[in-house]
Structure 1
Amino acid sequence: MAVKVIEESRISPPQHSTPPETSLPLTFFDVFWIIMPPVKRLFFYEFHHSNQHFIETVLPHMKHSLSQALQLFYPFAGHLITDPDDHHDSVPEIACSHGDSITLTVAETDSDFKHLSGHHARDVSDFFPLVPKLDSQLLALQVTLFPNSGIAVGITNSHVVADGKITTHFVKYWASLCKLGTENPLVPLISESSVFPFFDRSVVNDPKGLDKLYLKQIRELEELIKSNQVADALTPIAPTDIVVRATFVLGSVEIEKLKQWVTSKMKSRLSLSSSDTAFHVSTFVIVCAYVWVCWTKCKSRGDNEDGERLFFAFGGDFRGRLDPPLPKFYFGNCIIGVAAEANKRDIIGEDGMVVAAELIGRHIQELNKQSKMEGGETYISNISSVFRSGAKVLSVAGSPKFKVYETDFGWGRPRKVEVVSIEDSGAISLSESRDDENGGVEVGLVLSKLEMDCFASQFQQTLKGVTD
């Protein structure tokens, strides 16, 4: 894939529009992400104009609106200081000052826009040149032009600065400024009750000193990763395999049928009354259970694999779960992850969907009880033990609640949104369905070509068997 850089520029918030010198200390919610790879997301848009038209007409407006957006979301232009007090046990912080900026790269390519923005299997390497690299920055952006056919907006950000709720909120806010052309970035422009990020870290209570404890444990986990003791869990695809990415869609009608089917089976298994269920069988539970079953059936490993341990890891937004709750747009990370554990034989068995749904659903119930971070001292050590076990770990990136298809720069809704970084993490990505606004879900995966062919077959067969 040929990608040619046209220009690189540095974009800052408007002069003197941000606090002169400030810092945001990392909370225990942030510390975990220090050693994790950056998040890379691509938004594909149809755009039937020449490169010259974009550069002369659209690009200046994009730059201006980006500068305005950074006035409100200025920490994205800051820098991570790992030892603010020159002490090894000091909690890192995000330092912000006047003159901070982010890199915006503009490039062009002769690649096939429709091919890359489809759902079918595509070579993962075709996507790497479309997202910017991240060096010492916390956020970098790239706009790649497909002459007379489309635009790809690539975002690469360090997870340590903020979670997916905030980063997608920032991109949607930038897009809305670009679309509506306002000169006042403080005017709410997107369909949220409040668009203003909340920066006060003192609202995160940490009486147990989890920030320093997590920092110590994260450094120990980092040493394990460097020594390849957790490589099997973090790198589920052999480097010699042909690796592809593809998207699978579960429509709202299919999801409802799956919910009914699982609920019925669960009542039978657990001898529940017709008015009682073990937990709320949500769209998230059903989609994740379905994908976990199909994914597991297409993974193989040597002898005695039926008894193999599996983990399904996912996180929950804790802003509303904490006591007291945090503001809706608290800026930073506010995710607590859990990992449902199972034997492979149970997930691929006759009642695999029910087993998977019950495990995931019960862990969500447990998340809802963690308003005071009970047992938080063992959070990182539990993650380390999962990785060290050598078990297969499937995790989740993104969320249908982010509403990424509402990101409109003035060219209409995205044709496709991809989470490129799932190739690094081995996760699946979830978003709302572009074409089914009643509750459909898009699932992005990266697998070897053979595994992807198997997954596509399992996805269709299992769905047909349940919904017929």
Structure 2
Amino acid sequence: MAAATAPPKPITIYERCRIAPPTDNGATVQSLPLVFFDMVWLHFSPIQRLLFYQFPCSQKHFLETIVPNIKKSLSLTLKHFLPLAGNLIYPLNNSALMPEFRYIPGDSVSVTIAESNVASEYFNYLTGNEPRDADQFYAFVPDLPQPRTEHESGIKIIPLFAVQITNFPDIGICLGFTNHHAIGDASSIVGFVKAWSSIAMQDGNVEFLADNHSVPFYDRFAMTCPIVFVIIYFLNLYINYIKKNVVIINCFTKTLTNKLRATYILTKNNIQKLRNFVQTKKPASITHLSSFTITTAYVWTCLVKSATDAGEEVDDDEPEHFVFAVDARRRLDPPVPATYFGNCVAFGITESTHGQLKGDDGFLLAVRLIGEVISKKVNNKDEILRDAEKWMSKFSSLNTKRAFGVAGSPKFDLYGTEFGWGKPDKFEVVSIDGTGSMSLCNSREFEGGLEIGLCLPNKKMEAFAAIFSAGLEK
């Protein structure tokens, strides 16, 4: 399976500007401490998402109508999401100080206004499901502004959010947004984007946020994670990174990957067929058979099985890990409000061996392992944070070449976000290129189906596609 030949990716930058919350809202300095769940993501790469909308639009309409509305609605939305307009304040030479998120009046979000210079067919290429050149997407991803250092105060100031809107003349629009993961998880960022799209659709009306109980909740004292977790994490970072002059918080660099990006769909019928297979083979020993469990287990084992055909040499006793994050808001005791803005995710991790997962019963094994983690730990309030202070050391010990994860969740769906251009034609998580994870969201085309995004080298993608399809035909 070879990727279609993609045209060049030049764009014209019309404007680089800064969008701030309204200055008449009386906003003052807002400081938020990082809780344990935020600390986990301090050294993680930014998250990059793209939404493609099929909306024929002239250059004149784009610049005179679309762009002003985007700017206005973004500013009004930031009024309720001040941390995104602010910065991460990171102490460099004083372990007695803790990082914090800080907004001061005048802080703003970087916004890029652009236009694609290539043929209209290129839009269809980017929004397809077939394998495409992953590097062709980077022109539409906004860069976070570079961090700056205040040497006198000994702090690094790190921007947290950036936006880019690109017009494909007479065919569509791409809205890209990049965020530092420490400022918020998928629930928080998707909540912001949905609020933004609603304000854009309602011509600046923000009252619905209160009416729909969608105002973000910022109270860090609602979190039950012990403060000792925060201290342990930061001291570990300070000792192992900062004192060694290693910058752990980097902006994403758009380095050529020479990989392919593809989307795979599991329809509702596909998932039920796989579920029936598990129930027939292991009716008693496997009890947790959610769509998430079935889907991730199937993709994980298909990837493992594709290693040989892709030319990888992996010993049968080589450990294989599957890691996933789960929204912990309602799972904590006491629970945290659904509108809590920040990070509030726990982790599930399970392990097997290459030989076991590529065997005939590999899928059944993966379903059991993932299901057990969800039922015994993730859905157990007494267990969900057990050994949480060791999460970082566990992750750092994994062989990243044999670890597989998930970005996103069907619960945080962006396919319903309208800005006046109709619903999105395609959603892409570009940041999986560097993490080796799969993206996961609801299918736009098939009700009850799930959409899986992968970014892999050519041979690995070919091998995976063949195994993925063959497994559904049995």
TM-score (norm 2): 0.88
Q: Measured at CA, do residues 317 and 435 of structure 1 come closer, stay the same or move farther in structure 2, by a change above 3 Å? A: same
Aligned partners of 2:355 and 2:407: how far apart in 1? 25
Distance 1:208 1:8, change over 3 A: closer
1:376 aligns with 2:388: yes
Choose the corresponding residue for 1:48, options 56, 60, 67. Answer: 56
Matched to 1:434, the amino acid is R
Match of 2:436 in 1: 426
Residue 264 in structure 1 maps to residue 280 in structure 2:
yes
Aligned-partner SS, 1:127: helix
Q: 1:411 to 1:161 in 2, by over 3 A?
A: same
The aligned residue for residue 194 of structure 1 is: 213
Residue of structure 1 equivalent to 2:111? 104
Deviations 1:39-95 (A, max 9, x none): 0000000111211111112211111111111011111001101129x7324321001
Structure 2 counterpart of 1:147, which letter?
A: P
Whole-angstrom distance in 1 between the partners of 2:27 and 2:160? 18
Matched position secondary structure for 2:444: coil
Distance 1:221 1:449 in 2: 36
1:81/1:457 Cα in 2 relative to 1: closer, same or farther (>3 Å)?
A: same
Partner of 2:195: 173
Q: Spell out, residue by residue over 1:179-205, the C-alpha distance to the aligned partner (whole angstroms, 9 max, x if none).
A: 221x4313239xx95211101111112
Point out the more displaced range, 11-20 or 111-120: 11-20
Residue 474 (structure 2) pairs with residue 462 (structure 1): no
Determine if contact 2:131/2:261 at 8 Å carries over to the other structure.
yes
1 CA distance for matches of 2:86 and 2:301?
42
Query: In the alignment, what sits opposite 1:367?
Result: 378
TM-aligned CA distance change 1:240 to 1:76, over 3 Å: closer
Matched, 1:349 2:349: no
> How far has the Cα of 1:308 moved from its partner?
1.3
Q: Deviations over 1:329-357 (max 9, x none)?
A: 10100011122101011111111111001
Q: Distance in 1 between the 2:397 and 2:412 partners?
A: 30
- Residue 216 of structure 1: CA displacement? 2.7
Shift of 1:381: 1.7
Cα distance in 2 between the residues matched to 1:383 and 1:451: 24
Structure 1 SS opposite 2:114: strand
- Whether the 8 Å CA contact 2:135–2:257 is kept in 1: the answer is no
Q: Secondary structure at the match of 1:298?
A: helix
CA distance in 2, matches of 1:221, 1:280: 39
Is it true that 1:414 corresponds to 2:429 in the alignment?
A: no
* Aligned equivalents of 2:382, 2:345: Cα separation in 1: 12
TM-score computed with the length of structure 1 as normaliser: 0.89
Counterpart of 2:43? 35
> 1:230 maps to what in 2?
none
- Distance in 2 (CA, whole Å) between partners of 1:226 and 1:152 is 38
Q: 1:303 to 1:280 in 2, by over 3 A?
A: closer
* Matched residue type, 1:312: F
Equivalent of 1:150 in 172, 179, 187: 172
- What is the rounded CA distance, in whole Å, between the counterparts of 2:193 and 2:240 in structure 1? 31
- Aligned residue number for residue 150 of structure 2: none
Take 1:284 and 1:175, find their aligned partners in 2: how far apart are those partners? Answer: 27
* Equivalent position to 1:67, from 32, 55, 75: 75
Matched, 1:113 2:123: yes
CA–CA separation in structure 2 for the residues paired with 1:185 and 1:304: 55
CA deviations over 1:337-396 (Å, ceiling 9, x no partner)? 122101011111111111001111111121222447232232222222224xx6611111
How far apart in 2 are the matches of 1:330 and 1:304?
43
For the pair 1:87 / 2:97, whether they are aligned, the reply is no
Deviation at 1:21, TM superposition (A): 1.0
Aligned to 1:324: 334
Name the count of aligned residue pairs.
439
The structural deviation recorded for 1:18 is: 5.6
The answer to whether the 8 A contact 1:307-1:344 is kept is yes
Q: 1:127 maps to what in 2?
A: 137
Hey, what's the Cα distance between the residues in 1 that align with 2:239 and 2:326?
24
Aligned partner (choices 58, 62, 76) of residue 66 of structure 2: 58
> Which residue is equivalent to 2:222?
203
Unaligned runs of 5+ in 2: 1-8, 148-158, 247-254
Residue 47 to residue 241, structure 1, CA distance change in 2 (3 Å): closer
Percent identical pairs in the alignment equals: 38
CA RMSD of superposed structures (Å)? 2.3
- Taking the TM superposition and a 5 Å limit, the aligned residue runs for 1:268-287 are 272=284, 278-287=286-295
Contact 2:36 2:227 in 1 (8 A): no
Tell me, in whole angstroms, the C-alpha distance in 2 between the residues paired with 1:117 and 1:254.
23
Matches of 1:205 and 1:23 in 2, distance apart? 20
- 3-state DSSP class of the match of 1:216? helix
